[in-house]
Copies of this chain bind each other. A is one copy, B any other.
Amino acid sequence: MRFTSEQRLNDGVLERGFTLGDIPGILWTPASASASAPVPLILLGHPGGLNKMYPRLLGRARNVAADGFAAAAIELPGSGDRPRSAEVEQARADVRRVLAAGEPVGGELIDRLILPLVDQAVPEWQATLDALFTQAEIGGPVGYSGGVISIGVRLAVVEPRIAAAGLFAGSFIPRVIFEEARQVTIPLHVLLQWDDEGNDRQAALDLFDAFGSKEKTLNANMGGHTGVPQAAGDAAARFFTRHLGGSRADAK
C-alpha cells in the first residue's frame, strides 16, 4: 500500500489517498486514532466510481469518524480508471437493453453482471484489510457498510475480521448469494428503501430471510434509492457502535 495524498480535514479527520497495486482507495481516520489508541474500521461499500461517489463517501466517513471509527473505500473492479471486463460490460449493456424493454432482469443475467464483481472485489477488500492493519492506528473489529450487498454477503462469510455488517439493499442479487447468506452468522443491519423503484424489494426480503444470523434487523423506509432518512442512518450508526465499540454515547 502506498499513500498518495494526505490532508487534515477541518473536523480533525485525516484523509489519505492510497493505492494497493492498481486499486485506488481512501482511508479516513479520526483525530483520536493513534498507535496507542487504535480504532475499529468500517469498510464503505459503494456502487463504483470513487471520484463520482467521493462527496457521499466523505459524508459517511465523517459520520463514521465522529463515532470513533476509521473508514476506508476502494475503487470497484471495472469502475473509475480501473480496466473494464468485456464480459461485465456486455452484461451491463444487456441489463440496460432488458430494462429499456420493460422486461425483468433474469437470474442468468444478474449472475453475469454481479458475480465477476463479487469474485474480484472480495479478495481485493481482504488484501486492503491486510494492508490497513499494518497501520498502527487501525485495530479491533471491522464492519462492512453499504452496497453492493452481494459483496457484503460474501465478505461476511469468508472474512473473519468482519464482525458486523450494515448492508444496503439496492442492487441485483445473484442466486448463489442467497445460498451464501445462510452461512452468515455475524450481526446484520439491513437498510431497504421500500419505494426504491430500481430495486427488487422481494429479492431483498428473501435475502434478509435467508441470512443465518441470529441477530439481524431489517430497517425499511421511504424516500427512494438515495433518500435514506437521517433516523435510519443514525440507527445504522448505533448498530456499528453496539457491535464494534467506538465512542458514540447514545448507542444502547
Contacts and interface: CB of A to CB of B under 8 A. Distances in A.
Contact of A218 (B215, B220, B249): B220
B242 A238 contact: no
A181 to B, nearest CB: 14
A230 interface: yes
A205 interface: yes
B217 A218 contact: no
A217 B232 contact: yes
A108 interface: no
Number of copies: 2
B220 A217 contact: yes
Give the interface SS of chain A, mostly helix, strand, loop or mixed.
mixed
A66 to B, nearest CB: 13
A13 B249 CA distance: 26
A201 to B, nearest CB: 9
A231 B242 contact: yes
A32 to B, nearest CB: 21
A208 B194 CA distance: 10
Nearest to A216: B222
27 contacts: A194-B208, A194-B209, A194-B216, A194-B218, A205-B205, A213-B222, A214-B222, A215-B222, A215-B229, A216-B221, A217-B219, A217-B221, A217-B229, A217-B232, A218-B218, A218-B219, A218-B220, A218-B221, A219-B219, A220-B220, A231-B238, A231-B242, A231-B252, A234-B252, A235-B235, A249-B250, A250-B250
Given A205-B205, A220-B220, 16 more contacts: A194-B216, A208-B220, A213-B222, A216-B221, A216-B222, A217-B229, A217-B231, A218-B219, A218-B220, A218-B221, A219-B220, A231-B239, A231-B242, A231-B252, A234-B252, A249-B250
